[in-house]
Chains A and B, each alone.
Chain A
Amino acid sequence: MTIALGLSEFTATELWTFTFVVLTFGAYLYIGYANRVRDTKGFYVAGQGVPAVFNGMATAADWMSAASFISMAGLISFMGYDGAVYLMGWTGGYVLLALLLAPYLRKFGQYTVPDFVGDRYDSQLARVVAAICAVFVSLTYVTGQMRGVGVVFSRFLGVSITWGVVIGMAIVAFFAVAGGMKGITWTQVAQYVVLIIAFLIPAVAISAKLTGNPIPQLSFTFSDITEKLNQIQIDLGFTEYTAPFQSKTQLDVLCIVLALMVGTAGLPHVIVRFYTVRSVRAARFSAGWALLFIAILYTTAPALAAFARYNLIDTLHDTPVDEARSMEWVASWEQTGLLTLDDKNGDGVLTLSPEAAENEILIDRDIIVLSTPEVAELAPWVIALVAAGGLAAALSTAAGLLLVISSSFAHDVYAKLIHPEASEEKRLLVGRMTIFGAVCVAGFFGIHPPGFVAEVVAFAFGLAAASFFPVILLGIFDKRTNRQGAVAGMVVGVVFTASYIIGNRFFGMAPFMFGISAQGIGTVGMLINLFTTLVVSRLTPPPPEEIQEMVENVRVPRGAGATRSH
């Protein structure tokens, strides 16, 4: 760390941030150490002993990434109504998960998603395809987390992004390698507490300041701030904040919401959380708790988005440039390049405008959440708490993803295919080695990020929607679905979705499916997968008797505990 600056140069905010980061990281390390494991069952599924409420909390922390914490409210702030694609898309999937997947996967009771795919379709090929998909989806997703760690460190501690990522990775490596899923789960419980407090305090403060009502959900619905914001937007030449389909077509909004929902339900690091609870019953309730804990942040975010936008316009628009620059937060965010003030017409006063040639205030969406406490003039310790919350969100998600990458290789490929007779110690060692390797890969992508946090994450959803969801769903609800259908469906779904996204994003291909964007194309990929799987399954022989018996067995809760004694 670069403390070479000298202690005297630290501001109050930096000292508070340093204190919170050291305290919270110390707690994570301690929890990871206290929950270290000695067997693969503890390493991959936390010994299947996590109570429903705590698994819900861990799932929520696992789920809410740097994108949810740092970028989402900012995105909504710029998108208005259309930002709801993330709100509904990233919560609605839990309904699918709770009703269609989680209880049955818990009954099935193995360690990973490729385990289910491999056993249900009695195919090592399907297992390997699923493992490759799991690694690909999780790697795509983890890159966004590390960028988030870098942003927080560089802004709040004055540490370079590279060092920020290295420190973050060292912490994750410690508790993930030592504690596996058990260490990760209990660390995530602590991280949920940190991140939700950090998100709520500034939101409550800005809500109380602007409306006099401290509960953001209520003041968002009942105060006149959004009406005022609508009016300001119209006066400045923007469209109304609450007007739908401004940045996307109605069809695209529909497809993105569905792709994100189905993708959520198909993400391996989310699904695997439901393997860690004690029973089928606990899996169902755990999904409810998870969504409740997630919804606390997700229903606050749109309120924060509207309040922050109102407050920013109110503070900066029509303000003399010199006065704006004298505000401490303006000066420090301008330094990071995420806020740009440029008095283009030279009148000495800032103007916000939808016309790029006239607009004099450029705000990066990633700073909305991080700058809110400063803009609202809250105490330095609140600002520091937000930094610690952002780090908790990024690290908890990264840890869950790293475990999936590790288990896909060490469990699904190494232990099941390459070296099936390996001893328990050997498997655990390989698990630990791959998690360490995955940490290094994630660190590399954190230092060399491929794009925007939220955007990169959205791609992972399209791929999960087009690969895992249909195969698991039909594996449980359609006994006739067989190996040939599942493999064909996964391959066609992933190839279609990946080539559409890559073609659209990197080779300038115009969207041709009725203008559905890269984010929403997972919906089409999923439908193609479902169709292919159903058709191919019915053109080929039905699955063998014992597989059909297994499906029957997965459908009833009784006997879930028995798998634990294997």
Chain B
Amino acid sequence: MSESDQLEQKSSLKDQKVRTAYWRKNRRLICFLLAVWALVSYGFAILMPLRYEIGSLPANFWWAQQGSMYVFVVLIFVYAWRMDRIDHEFDVHEVESEEGS
């Protein structure tokens, strides 16, 4: 059993509160990012008829064959980067020795 595991047991009640708050914050971030994910792919590319052009391509076509994919990549990195900050904020991040890198 690692040191962090023992600490977790000692302060399990406070720990429970922290975990609940951490999980709520995580879920809120996920909901926001998935809303963007759905908007660009299902919204801009498929469901909303857009009348403008991007470059020389119709906007729906550009979002379907180019734009949505760029946004997907950005969304994942934003999540990874934000969660890194949130992990530290709630002190639930992995400690150096166990991360191994």
Q: A residues within 8 Å of B by Cβ?
A: 49, 51, 76, 81, 83-84, 87-88, 91-92, 94-96, 98-100, 103, 217, 220-224, 226-227, 242, 244, 250, 253-254, 257-258, 261, 278-282, 284-285, 287-288, 291-292, 295, 298-299, 302, 477, 552, 555-562, 564
| Pairwise interchain contact B76-A94, C-beta atoms closer than 8 A | yes
| Pairwise interchain contact B66-A302, C-beta atoms closer than 8 A | yes
| Pairwise interchain contact A92-B72, C-beta atoms closer than 8 A | yes
- Cα separation A299 to B62 with both chains bound (whole Å): 11
| Pairwise interchain contact A302-B65, C-beta atoms closer than 8 A | yes
| Pairwise interchain contact B46-A250, C-beta atoms closer than 8 A | yes
Residues of A within 8 A of B68 (CB): 87-88, 91-92
| Pairwise interchain contact B56-A222, C-beta atoms closer than 8 A | yes
Contact A98 B80, CB 8 Å, known A257-B46, A557-B87: yes
- Cα separation A453 to B95 with both chains bound (whole Å): 45
5 new A-B contacts, CB < 8 A, other than A220-B66, A222-B55, A242-B61, are: A84-B45, A88-B45, A96-B34, A285-B77, A558-B8
| Pairwise interchain contact B80-A288, C-beta atoms closer than 8 A | yes
Residues of A within 8 A of B76 (CB): 94-95, 98-99, 284, 287-288, 291
- Cα separation A76 to B64 with both chains bound (whole Å): 12
Whole-angstrom distance from the CB of B95 to the nearest CB of chain A?
A: 7
- Residue in contact with A561 in the complex, picked from B33, B60, B69, B94, CB distance below 8 Å: B94
Contact A84 B64, CB 8 Å, known A254-B47, A556-B19, A559-B4: yes
Contact A95 B37, CB 8 Å, known A84-B65, A221-B54: yes
Residue B89 lies at the interface, judged by CB distance under 8 Å to chain A? no
| Pairwise interchain contact A558-B61, C-beta atoms closer than 8 A | no
- Residue in contact with B73 in the complex, picked from A81, A227, A292, CB distance below 8 Å: A292
- Cα separation A558 to B91 with both chains bound (whole Å): 9
- Cα separation A356 to B80 with both chains bound (whole Å): 51
| Pairwise interchain contact A299-B80, C-beta atoms closer than 8 A | no
**Selected A-B contacts with CB under 8 Å, 28 pairs:** A51-B101, A76-B65, A81-B64, A83-B65, A84-B61, A88-B41, A94-B76, A98-B80, A99-B75, A220-B57, A220-B66, A222-B55, A224-B56, A242-B57, A244-B61, A254-B42, A261-B41, A279-B94, A291-B73, A295-B70, A295-B72, A302-B65, A552-B19, A555-B22, A556-B19, A559-B5, A560-B98, A561-B98
| Pairwise interchain contact A91-B69, C-beta atoms closer than 8 A | yes
Residues of A within 8 A of B37 (CB): 92, 95
Inter-chain CB contacts under 8 Å: number: 168
- Residue in contact with B72 in the complex, picked from A95, A242, A555, A561, CB distance below 8 Å: A95
| Pairwise interchain contact B4-A299, C-beta atoms closer than 8 A | no
- Cα separation A94 to B19 with both chains bound (whole Å): 26
Contact A561 B99, CB 8 Å, known A226-B56, A299-B69: yes
Whole-angstrom distance from the CB of A273 to the nearest CB of chain B?
A: 14
Residues of A within 8 A of B83 (CB): 103, 281, 284
- Residue in contact with B101 in the complex, picked from A84, A258, A278, A288, CB distance below 8 Å: A278
Contact A282 B101, CB 8 Å, known A99-B34, A226-B56, A288-B73: yes
- Cα separation A285 to B80 with both chains bound (whole Å): 6
Pairs of residues from A and B, 3 with the lowest C-beta to C-beta distance, nearest first: A561-B98, A84-B64, A221-B55
Contact A87 B64, CB 8 Å, known A226-B57, A257-B41, A562-B2: yes
We find that the number of chain B residues with CB closer than 8 angstroms to chain A is 51
- Cα separation A227 to B97 with both chains bound (whole Å): 57
Residues of B within 8 A of A287 (CB): 76, 80
Q: Residue-by-residue, is B1-34 near A (CB-CB < 8 Å gives 1, otherwise 0)?
A: 0101100100000000001001100110010011
Residues of B within 8 A of A302 (CB): 65-66
| Pairwise interchain contact B30-A99, C-beta atoms closer than 8 A | yes
Residues of B within 8 A of A552 (CB): 19
A558 (CB) vs chain B CBs: closest residue: B92
Residues of B within 8 A of A226 (CB): 56-57
Residues of A within 8 A of B47 (CB): 250, 254
Whole-angstrom distance from the CB of B36 to the nearest CB of chain A?
A: 9
Residues of B within 8 A of A284 (CB): 76, 79-80, 83-84
B83 (CB) vs chain A CBs: closest residue: A284
Whole-angstrom distance from the CB of B48 to the nearest CB of chain A?
A: 11
B30 (CB) vs chain A CBs: closest residue: A99
| Pairwise interchain contact A561-B101, C-beta atoms closer than 8 A | no
- Residue in contact with B94 in the complex, picked from A220, A280, A288, CB distance below 8 Å: A280
- Cα separation A55 to B84 with both chains bound (whole Å): 19
- Residue in contact with B2 in the complex, picked from A217, A227, A254, A559, CB distance below 8 Å: A559
Residues of A within 8 A of B42 (CB): 254, 257-258
Whole-angstrom distance from the CB of A243 to the nearest CB of chain B?
A: 8
Whole-angstrom distance from the CB of A219 to the nearest CB of chain B?
A: 10
B75 (CB) vs chain A CBs: closest residue: A95
- Residue in contact with A95 in the complex, picked from B27, B33, B54, CB distance below 8 Å: B33
Contact A254 B46, CB 8 Å, known A49-B100, A242-B61, A284-B83: yes
Residue from B75, B79, B94 with most neighbouring chain A CB atoms (10 Å): B94
- Cα separation A389 to B69 with both chains bound (whole Å): 23
- Cα separation A220 to B87 with both chains bound (whole Å): 41
- Cα separation A295 to B92 with both chains bound (whole Å): 32
Residues of B within 8 A of A285 (CB): 77, 80
- Cα separation A438 to B68 with both chains bound (whole Å): 37
Contact A562 B80, CB 8 Å, known A83-B65, A88-B68, A555-B23: no
- Cα separation A361 to B61 with both chains bound (whole Å): 27
- Residue in contact with B69 in the complex, picked from A83, A87, A220, A242, CB distance below 8 Å: A87
Residues of A within 8 A of B27 (CB): 477
Contact A242 B73, CB 8 Å, known A83-B65, A559-B2, A561-B99: no
| Pairwise interchain contact B100-A281, C-beta atoms closer than 8 A | no
B93 (CB) vs chain A CBs: closest residue: A557
- Cα separation A8 to B34 with both chains bound (whole Å): 59
